[in-house]
Amino acid sequence: MDDPRPRSARPHPGEAHEPGTAGRLNWLRAGVLGANDGIVSTAGLVVGVAGATSSRAAIFTAGLAGLVAGAVSMALGEYISVSSQRDSESAQLALERRELVDDPDAELEELAGIYRAKGLSVETAERVAVELTAHDALAAHAEAELHLDPDSLTSPTQAAFASAVSFVVGAALPLVAILLPPEAWRVPVTVMSVLIALAITGWVSSTLGRSSTRLAVARVVVGGAAGLALTYAIGRLFGTAVG
């Protein structure tokens, strides 16, 4: 017998539907973005300083300060952003719960109306609405009306932690790359390491978002290369002038 549910309510082949899947993907994306920011911002900082001075101590101090400040900023920003989003989603779900208690018949008709608007016949829409309401009324309305999963709201703490840790991991790469080689090789080694790392984060980001890998990689690599060139030029120009 054919499944009467709309496509949005059916399991899709190859798609994960375990509780919390959406939340895990959200903090994973936050982690990838955090790593990318850590790589770019710290690389720009240390390359800029290297353009002005050959002092390892100055480069290390600037890089470490940028790493710590960036990680704190990323975590705080992600926590505030996700907390605001979660508060809004929780308020919508609370309102839906009250409406289901206060007027369940109107809510049932509203749910059936949503499925009719998606193209189901009157009979099928009513049957789907009744069966989904009997199974889990809140989940049915949250999915159809709000496009939310009550069991998979994003955790602000997880998102903040993922952003901070990934930023530190990303920032450590250019910091190590510029400190280990001899002075003449510092900038070339750092630039090459950073561009390879950016290509990897671009590939991961495109895989998670199911977008064009080539475009995502090219975008971050070209942008990162331009940023490094600019910061190095600024370091050379103003470092020499001020010195």
pLDDT at 141 over 90: no
> Given the structure tokens 């370091």, which residue do they identify?
235
How crowded is residue 165: how many other Cβ atoms within 10 Å of its Cβ? 17
Write the CB contacts of 88 (distance below 8 Å, at least 6 apart in sequence).
Answer: none
What tens digit of pLDDT does each residue of 31-67 get?
A: 788 888 999 999 999 999 998 888 999 999 999 999 9
- Residue 6 confidence (pLDDT): 46
Would you say residue 21 has pLDDT above 80? no
The whole-number pLDDT of residue 14 equals: 40
- pLDDT cut 70: percent of the chain above it: 87
| Residue 171 pLDDT greater than 90, yes or no | yes
Is pLDDT above 90 for 71? yes
Confidence of residue 24 (pLDDT cuts 50, 70, 90): low
Cβ atoms within 10 Å of 53's Cβ, excluding its own: 15
